[in-house]
Amino acid sequence: MSFAGLVFILIKIVVVFALLMLTVAYLTLLERKVLAHMQVRVGPMFAGPHGILQPIADGIKLFFKEDIVTKQADKFFYFLSPALSIVPVLLIFAVIPFGDKSDIFGLLKEPIDLRITGLRIDILFIFAMSGLATYGVVFGGWSQNNKYALIGGLREAAQLISYEVAFTLSVFGVVLIAGSLQLDKIVAMQKDMWFIVYQPVGFLIFLTAAVAELKRTPFDLPEAESELVAGFHADYSSMKFAMFFMAEYASIVACSCLGTILFLGGWLGPSFLPPFVWYMIKVFILIFVIIWLRGTYPRLRYDQLMKFGWKFLIPLSFVNIFVTAIVILLVR
Amino acid sequence: MANIDLLTITPDIILIVFAFALLLAGAFSKVERQANFNMLAMLGFGLAFLVNLFLFGAKKYGYYNMFFFDEVAGLFRFVFYGIGILVALISEPYICGKIKHKGEYYALILISVAGMSFLATAYDLIMLVLGLEAMSLSIYILAGMFKHDEKSVEASMKYFLLGAFSTAILMLGIAFVYGALGTTNFGEVVTAYQKNLGGHKPELLIAGVVLVLAGVLFKIAAVPFHMWTPDVYEGAPSSVTAFMISGVKAASFVMLIRVFVLGLKVVVFDLVTTVMVISAVTMTLGNVCALVQKNVKRMLAYSSIAHAGYILVGFVALNKTSLAAIVFYLIAYALMNIGAFAVLVLFDDRGNYLESLSGSGFKYPFLGLMMTIFMFSMVGLPPTGGFMGKFYIFKGALEAGYVWLVIIAVLNSAVSAYFYLRVLVYMFFEDFKGAVAPSVNSTPTTVALVLTSIGVLYLGIFPQAFFELTQRCMTYLP
Amino acid sequence: MMPVYLAYLFSGLAVILALSTILQKNPVYSAASLIGVMIMLACDYVLLGADFIAAIQIIVYVGAIMVLFVFVIMLLNIEQAKREKLFIPRRVVGVLLGLAIFLKLSIVGYTAKVMLSKGYLKIPKGADSTTAIGKYLFSNYLLPFEVASIVLLVGLIGAVVLGRREAK
């Protein structure tokens, strides 16, 4: 690879990273605001007009907080876990496209891909990384030598294993239709019709399993505040805590992007708005739905969670794949 | 040439369908109503047997040359299905009340036999490994079926760990062979050997073949891969031990023959010396260790090591007579072992020690007679199948000029008479102590005993026709 | 020649991590080392152009199987393994034999001319490995594929039969 190519990729990485961190920061504000209005409150109001500077204030606060390392902690994994949880999530953004080839309003001579890089196995790469992301929570929970955190980590492991299957299977309905594992090709296939029309059940399974993978209410058992005092990150503070937090919100963004690309036609839309705007609108609709779920649903009990995953979601996703495959076979 | 040939694998499909049916039936019925599960399993084996009878004699490649059905495969399928029927017969009275998962028990036996059958028809190293694993995994589980018996659990664990190691070694060997030849398919070995290697044998190929041999010898239980045998055979439920000692032994030898005589025939003559040494050591060690055993199951386990040594003589000789003799011997061996274990099974494990068998021969004359036939056959005394099996094996070895090996084997047979006949001494020349009594519902086991004893005697008295059949089937060597 | 050096790096790390797996006293560290081994193997697969296998390696082994390993280790709260005496006289024979076989195999493997270029399984030009694997699985390797499913089923049955608690 040439030097210029390397610099070019680096620029892309920096841009994506900056945008992502900005989104993540304001996602916290969005969540607080949405929840507040659902509960007929106003949410943060003081830092800037309508609390617009609140994320920055939070960031500064977290940065200067005391970094606590408890005596009984297993130091190696205690330090490693926050990184283990955020790195895979960031890596997912290496393959997520944000738009078609574009010359960015005529700024560039040649159109470029609006993504850092593409693989031939985009989707599998994403699953691989989401599998790796588990370990941050699991080892993080274990390393604190604290029973609440340990239970949080264990719950996370069990939950991830259970819902990863349904999550993966739900996506493979789309892969069957598209016949490709490449995200940009999948979006291109949706020119005439979004895949949510062909895969409504797949989309619902995807959304449910994604919420479970993200440890969001109603599936937030690994960090259930009321019983586990914040679960796997009970002892963490300062930037280590912030890294767990960022990982969580970044994976919300990643899941929403993936859902948009796979089911909602990605950046495709009527031409009165530029593709990137369509893309952002769809992503934020999904993010809003995920926050909305938090505002409306109570937490499941643990056995309900397992039963729902294994006895309902996984069989349903198998049926979905089976039906999809048969229909494809008959149509072609 | 897709040649997707469903007809030829129909017997195995039947077995697997019956296994599924048993699994479901086991899940949805009460334990008390599962008494006829062995009938269902036998029906499966019987159907497979019939279909195979219909297929027998054809030569067919199938599934992109993944399997090759020939007379050897057909013959071994008969052996496996027959063993399946006999084991299903002796199981029911024995496991009744001891095992709550009867559906799984019979299903695993069915799947295991299907695995053996895939092993016998394999024409590719990949198929071979998968057949082997389908067989072995089922048996690891079957060995641990008596969950409240520590020895059974230990047997399962030991067999599983060592078996997993041996499969890993086998896989490494296959990887080496694939690396050297660029193919795993038996049909392409010779071409690949001449075209890719130019007729040379690089060390990589030899190393791979030796590793594959090690994996196969583990299943055969040949020295130095025999350590697991006594513990596993002793600890496993007796019906499962009967299955292992007959079925797995036969399957391992068909694997040996198919891999090295049919598949990698370009290297087989490089292995003969190694196998010869192993064979001599194996029979000697098996017999010497069996001399001091007080437990009949353990004694039979060591005897199975010794018999593996005898059968390996047939592989060393590597001519048509000796290979046919291997098949003959394996059938006789399966019959006499299942028979001997049927007696132990009928005593419900209370007669496992020589002491406890005291005097039972005159108290239960039928069982005494049966045990006599089987022990005579084990020693290799006429007029039993064991004698004719040894006779043919040694004949083959003499034809090939391995006089010394035959002398060692005959001496070993003489030694083995001591511990086999000691069982009979205890049964007939000691006073009955009331330690054993046959279990109540013994009809199926009795049927199995009658069948096996007739088989052993038939093979001993009229061996000619059957031996000619095996010779006609053994087409791998001119 | 960059990929070759990378291959040595990843394989070397895999060996070190594998050693760490068996030498660590703390089972959680052992499991973590094993995860490292799996990831390094996946990196090697990528260098070999088998990206599909690499992804599956991570998804299945790291994302599922090792999570369960770690889960069980944590759930049972296994105490740190007691440092057993490593050197028992009779082990010397085994160690020497093992080393000899290891050395021999290493030499054989290192000096071997691997025939992969002449092998009959090839990824056609222009196709990716995923498509090629899919085609082979449903043509040449159809029967092994089906038999593999039986083998997995047996494993499943075994887990249920042996793992289930029974009332006495």
Q: Are residues A290 and A167 in the same domain?
A: yes
A43 and A165 share one domain: no
Q: Does C165 touch chain B (CB under 8 A)?
A: no
Does residue B428 form part of some domain? yes
- SS3 of chain A: the string is CCHHHHHHHHHHHHHHHHHHHHHHHHHHHHHHHHHHHHCCCCCCCCCCHHHCCHHHHHHHHHHHCCCCCCCCCCHHHHHHHHHHHHHHHHHHCCCCCCCCCECCCCCCCCCECCCCCCCCCHHHHHHHHHHHHHHHHHHHHHHCCCHHHHHHHHHHHHHHHHHHHHHHHHHHHHHHHHCCCCHHHHHHHCCCCCHHHHCHHHHHHHHHHHHHHCCCCCCCHHHCHHHHCCHHHCCCCHHHHHHHHHHHHHHHHHHHHHHHHHHCCCCCCCCCCCHHHHHHHHHHHHHHHHHHHHHHCCCCCHHHHHHHHHHHHHHHHHHHHHHHHHHHHHHC
pLDDT tens digits, B248-263: 999 999 999 999 988 8
Residue type, B406: V
Radius of gyration of chain B (CA): 21
To the nearest whole number, what is the mean pLDDT of chain C? 82
A179 and A72 belong to one structural domain:
yes
Q: What is the pLDDT of residues B158-172, one digit of tens each?
A: 999 999 999 999 999
Same-domain check for residues A21 and A88: no
Range of the domain at B309: 282-478
Asked if pLDDT for residue C113 goes beyond 80, the answer is: no
Do C161 and B101 lie within an 8 Å CB cutoff?
yes
Nearest Cα of chain C lies from the Cα of B406 at a distance, in angstroms, of 31
Residue the block writes with tokens 């062995």: B38
In a domain, residue B353? The reply is yes
**Chain C partners of B104 at a C-beta cutoff of 8 Å?**
157, 160-161
Domain count, chain B: 1
Domain encompassing residue A72? 65-331
Specify whether A140 is located in the same domain as A26: no
Chain A residue set in contact with C, beta carbons under 8 Å: 74, 77, 119-121, 124-125, 127-128, 130-132, 134-135, 138-139, 142, 150, 153-154, 157-158, 160-161, 164, 168, 181
Residues A296 and A149 in one domain: yes
How many domains does chain A divide into? 2
φ, ψ for residue A120, nearest 5 deg: -80, -10
Report the complex ipTM: 0.88
Q: Helices B403-429 and B365-379, interaxial angle, to 10°? A: 160
Mark residue B182 as left, alpha or beta (left: phi above 0; alpha: psi -120 to 50; beta: remaining).
left
Q: How far apart are CA B134 and CA B153, in angstroms?
A: 20
pLDDT tens digits in sequence order for chain A, 332 residues long: 577 778 888 888 888 888 888 888 888 888 888 888 888 888 787 777 877 888 888 888 888 887 777 887 788 888 888 888 889 999 888 888 887 776 666 666 677 777 777 778 888 888 888 888 888 888 888 888 877 888 888 888 888 888 888 888 888 888 888 888 888 888 888 888 888 888 888 899 998 888 888 877 777 777 766 677 667 777 777 778 888 888 888 988 998 988 888 888 878 877 777 788 888 888 889 998 888 888 888 887 888 888 888 889 899 999 999 999 999 889 87
Tell whether A70 and A48 lie within a shared domain: no
CA C55 – CA A181 distance, rounded (Å) = 12
Most confident of A316-320, B426-430, B439-443: A316-320
In a domain, B102, yes or no: no
Mutate to test the interface with C, among A1, A78, A81, A125 (most CBs of C within 10 A): A125
Shared-domain flag, residues A42 and A130: no
Alpha-carbon separation of residue A102 from A47, A114, A194 (angstroms): 37, 7, 21
Q: Are residues A95 and A229 in the same domain?
A: yes
**Helix-helix angle B125-143:B249-257, to 10 degrees:** 170
Say if B420 falls within a structural domain. yes
Looking at the fold, whether A217 and A200 belong to one and the same domain comes out as yes
C118 has pLDDT over 70: no
pLDDT at C124: 63
Residues A157 and C67: beta-carbon distance below 8 Å: yes
A207-245 core/surface letters (b: 16 or more CB in 10 A; e: else): bbbbbbbbbbbbbbbbbbeeebebbbbbbbeebbbbbbb
Do C64 and A131 form a contact (C-beta atoms < 8 A)?
A: yes
pLDDT of residue C125: 63
Same domain, A310 and A224: yes
Instruction: Report yes or no: B66 and B317 within 8 Å, Cβ to Cβ.
Output: no
CA distance C106 to chain B (A): 10
Which chain B residues are closer than 8 Å to C158 by Cβ? 137, 140-141
**Nearest-angstrom CA–CA distance, B124 and B129:** 9
Whether the CB-CB separation of B473 and B74 falls below 8 Å is answered with yes
